[in-house]
Structure 1
Amino acid sequence: MPTDMQPLKNVLIIGYVWPEPRSSAAGSRMMEFIHLFLQQQWQVTFASAAALSEHRAELPALGVSEVCIEVNSDSFDHFIAGLQPDMVLFDRFFTEEQFGWRVEKICPQALRVLDTVDLHSLRDARHGLLKQAQQGLGNEQQKQSAGPVRATQAELHEVMAVDDTAQREIAAIYRCDLSLLISDIERDFLQQHFSVPAYLLHHCALMSVASATANPGLEFEQRQHFISIGNFRHAPNWDAVLWLKHALWPAIRRQLPQAELHVYGSYPPPKATALHNPRQGFHVLGWADDAQRVMAQSRVCLAPLRFGAGIKGKLADAMLCGTPSVTTAIGSEGMSGTLPWAGVVAEDGDSFAAAAVALYQDQAAWQQAQQHGRDILQQRFARQDIAQGLLSRLSDARQNQSNCRQQNFTGAMLRHHLHKSTQYMSQWITAKNQLAGK
């Protein structure tokens, strides 16, 4: 290791939001990082410009310093100059755009790491394709009956290559020393279709999943009802609720007249609670104090995702709780590899409804799906292996930091041009705000 490159001991995490592990998979993932870093005896500081949230984790109780920061303010420069972190972890590419140039200016030797959470540009591309498919349909009922996006990677690349979000996100990846991808599918997609060098990327799956020996919960005959769960502020989750309400659940209910669907999720808006209809067996229940408890009591998890990216925490939780699931190819993407799915992967609405009914009634198929879930957890989400892999990759990135930055000319070029424009815009806003305050 170069003499001017200190080992990682002091870490700054710049959060897009404050971590809410009980609200979203993104919040759980952030807490995984925090716990792992603390186990290494690293000093961890979490900073965010977001408003403090009701369900955020109690970071100070863990020994993590909380710092509220401002965008477009030189106060961040003073803060990070005093902290002098060895590594800065950016939570999503938005935070790298806003604070990356300041980190480089004040602490040029800090290792810059980006956690993409999921590939936002991929999710947006799929969302756009879904909207295009719905435009040709007549009424709202028909639009909300459209099936999931089934575009190939080549077709997705064609959309993303001219998209502003993709250009911004991949530029942020190039500007960082290392980017973490939660899905190996997304890592390979970036390498194969956008020519991002392998040394800039690391596949780091969820680490919150314990082990395949976890208590699977109640037996088949002790469970009842379907469950759907997900943060309502996440667009793919809300879209899934709409598909359930307008098309999938009526088809399931016609075959299982006494069945109930319990829809959970944080931050349900009025338009979501308005869908609550007990007579139809459609129960919008909102926030779950213990998501794994309600998951473990349910017989089948429904995750009808028509678009999205990353891997789905709700489906990992379902496997952990021994709850088989029915989802789409987008829902299962990056989770099972070559292993059989822990339930059924359906490609259209009719197949989805039929699979949900069959899995709900067939105890043997249900038990087999439960075992498939255990296999996926054990082989694809082993916490110790993933954690050790991340720590080793961070250490390698630190040791080879100077050489990799020299090799990454594209990143240097993007930092020179884009950071200059971002820097000057931010400084103009800062000056404007200071004048307004006089």
Structure 2
Amino acid sequence: MAKKLLVIGHVWPEPKTTAAGSRMLQLLETFISFGYEITFVSTAAKTGFSLDLTSLGITEATITLNHSSFDDFLVKLKPDMVIFDRFMVEEQFGWRVAEFAPKALRILNTEDLHSLRKAREEAVKKEREFTLDQWKNHPMTLREASSIYRSDINLLISPYEMDLLEQELNIPKALLFHLPFMVDPISPETVQQWPSFEERSDFVCIGNGKHAPNMDSIKLLKNTIWPLIRKELPRANLYIYGAYLPQMVKDMHHSKTGFHVKGWAENVGEVLQKHRSLLAPLRFGAGIKGKLLDAMIHGIPSVTTSIGSEGMHVGLPWNGTVTDDWDAFAQSAIQLYQHEENWTAAQGNGIVLINSLYQKEILQNQLIIHLNEATEHLTDHRNRNFIGRLLHHETLTSTKYLAKWIEEKHRK
């Protein structure tokens, strides 16, 4: 009999618009390959970009927040494993899973450390240098760390964030599992099919308009970096792609200066393979960046920041240039654009990174071994996690009764 996996989504997956959507699709496909019977639920409304999960053989259901109908749903489903998509979902439904499906392995898919991204964003907006103390004292960090402790396994996409949780917050390594994006290796045959240096032209920037780091990057390109590049490359163009781009970004379109706002790209691969360099001047963020991984997958070198490349290359040479100085950023983009030898070397670095750090088959094998071990020794694992049990007793007791109070209030 197939094991049952319940995934509680923060939103319905949109793999063609967000890196988080791509990540969720990779997870779902992985558990399908493991033979799991999957049910995906969410309180969110679907959009025109939401993936039809039923086409993958996944059961879909809508659930209600702060309502006992979810308890009945759990009792009937009897899941062997539950994945919470981001810590906010664990806060809302973790106590219900613990009470009504106590034997289910509870997994938190962090996506990235939301608290780290938020603390960095606030530092940028206040024009002050970011420090780890700001992050450790941020109220969202307390919430996120509590959620991590309450979960049996936490999937971390970035090795930097793994180290951060272990070294700065002393979270036990037994609760953490590094699982980056999982992709197929790049073969020599694939490389031969890529457009050459000469066949590519212009620059590209891609990012979801609902994601604050992307919006900050586009403004930075428009006002600071692109004028520097355009001054030396007067015939070059920069194309901005992304779903949900706000009107503020659409108004930046200015063809005379080579700044073109295009909107959503249905086929990211086709877009990236047309262009010669990807620009991602990210000043804040967390996790690892889907756009930069996509760049490597499609053979386009990138210029980014230390935040952009964080956790993505683990000491190996980058797929282009990493710099936090905007003059140097522009000059690096210009150099990559003009010199085929440098460009080809950068492209090669990207191939090495994909094949060394992100191979799907290797990562899936590591994951299934870890899940089997955790399931086999779940009672001992939970007994060793005293802080997690304490937080379930204290924090979730209050959350539980608040939820029940809200439910009762809605009935009146």
TM value normalised by structure 1:
0.92
What CA distance in whole angstroms lies between the structure 1 residues aligned with 2:216 and 2:374? 39
* Residues 212 and 375 in structure 1, CA contact (< 8 A), matched pair in contact too: no
Report the CA distance between 1:210 and its aligned residue. 4.1
Secondary structure of the residue aligned to 2:41 is strand
Whether 1:125 and 2:115 are equivalent positions in the alignment is no
CA separation of 1:213/1:16 partners in 2, compared to 1, >3 Å: closer, same or farther?
Answer: farther
Secondary structure of the residue aligned to 1:353 is helix
> Counterpart in 2 of 1:315?
292
Secondary structure of the residue aligned to 2:147 is helix
Whether 1:35 and 2:29 are equivalent positions in the alignment is yes
* Residues 228 and 330 in structure 2, CA contact (< 8 A), matched pair in contact too: yes
> Counterpart in 2 of 1:345?
322
Report the CA distance between 1:35 and its aligned residue. 0.8
> Counterpart in 2 of 1:141?
none
What CA distance in whole angstroms lies between the structure 2 residues aligned with 1:302 and 1:337? 21
Report the CA distance between 1:184 and its aligned residue. 0.6
Report the CA distance between 1:215 and its aligned residue. 2.4
Report the CA distance between 1:22 and its aligned residue. 0.7
What CA distance in whole angstroms lies between the structure 1 residues aligned with 2:324 and 2:388? 39
> Counterpart in 2 of 1:49?
43
> Counterpart in 1 of 2:394?
417
Secondary structure of the residue aligned to 1:53 is coil
* Residues 19 and 57 in structure 1, CA contact (< 8 A), matched pair in contact too: yes
- Which deviates more, 208-217 or 331-340? 208-217
> Counterpart in 1 of 2:177?
202
> Counterpart in 2 of 1:168?
143
Alignment-mate amino acid for residue 404 of structure 1:
H
Alignment-mate amino acid for residue 366 of structure 1:
W
2:7 to 4, 8, 13: 13
> Counterpart in 2 of 1:335?
312
Whether 1:68 and 2:62 are equivalent positions in the alignment is yes
2:200 to 219, 223, 228: 223
* Residues 211 and 382 in structure 1, CA contact (< 8 A), matched pair in contact too: no
Secondary structure of the residue aligned to 1:113 is strand
1:189 to 161, 164, 170: 164
- What value does the CA root-mean-square deviation take over the aligned residues? 1.3
2:225 to 248, 253, 258: 248
What CA distance in whole angstroms lies between the structure 2 residues aligned with 1:280 and 1:234? 25
Alignment-mate amino acid for residue 44 of structure 2:
A
What CA distance in whole angstroms lies between the structure 2 residues aligned with 1:92 and 1:409? 22
What CA distance in whole angstroms lies between the structure 1 residues aligned with 2:2 and 2:393? 26
Report the CA distance between 1:8 and its aligned residue. 7.7
Secondary structure of the residue aligned to 1:35 is helix
1:87 to 78, 81, 85: 81
What CA distance in whole angstroms lies between the structure 1 residues aligned with 2:367 and 2:2? 13
TM value normalised by structure 2:
0.97
* Residues 2 and 37 in structure 2, CA contact (< 8 A), matched pair in contact too: no
Whether 1:233 and 2:210 are equivalent positions in the alignment is yes
Secondary structure of the residue aligned to 1:301 is strand
Q: What per-residue deviation string (whole Å, max 9, x for no partner) do you get for residues 379-408 of structure 1? A: 111111111111111111111210011011
What CA distance in whole angstroms lies between the structure 1 residues aligned with 2:297 and 2:152? 33
* Residues 158 and 178 in structure 2, CA contact (< 8 A), matched pair in contact too: yes
Whether 1:426 and 2:375 are equivalent positions in the alignment is no
Alignment-mate amino acid for residue 69 of structure 1:
I
Report the CA distance between 1:209 and its aligned residue. 4.8
What count of residue pairs does the alignment treat as equivalent? 410
List structure 1 segments (4+ residues) > 6 angstroms apart after TM superposition.
none
Report the CA distance between 1:23 and its aligned residue. 0.7
Q: What per-residue deviation string (whole Å, max 9, x for no partner) do you get for residues 155-189 of structure 1? A: 31x11222110000010000000000000110011
Secondary structure of the residue aligned to 1:133 is coil
1:390 to 335, 347, 367: 367
CA separation of 1:209/1:252 partners in 2, compared to 1, >3 Å: closer, same or farther?
Answer: farther
Is there any run of 5+ residues in structure 2 with no aligned partner, and where? none
2:98 to 100, 104, 129: 104
Is there any run of 5+ residues in structure 1 with no aligned partner, and where? 1-6, 135-148
Report the CA distance between 1:208 and its aligned residue. 3.2
> Counterpart in 2 of 1:305?
282
Report the CA distance between 1:211 and its aligned residue. 2.8
Alignment-mate amino acid for residue 156 of structure 2:
L
Alignment-mate amino acid for residue 67 of structure 1:
A
What CA distance in whole angstroms lies between the structure 2 residues aligned with 1:402 and 1:11? 19
What CA distance in whole angstroms lies between the structure 1 residues aligned with 2:113 and 2:35? 30
2:16 to 19, 22, 34: 22
- Which deviates more, 196-205 or 67-76? 67-76
> Counterpart in 2 of 1:377?
354
CA separation of 1:169/1:209 partners in 2, compared to 1, >3 Å: closer, same or farther?
Answer: farther
Secondary structure of the residue aligned to 1:284 is strand
Report the CA distance between 1:298 and its aligned residue. 0.6
Q: What per-residue deviation string (whole Å, max 9, x for no partner) do you get for residues 284-311 of structure 1? A: 1110010111001110000110000100
Alignment-mate amino acid for residue 93 of structure 1:
F
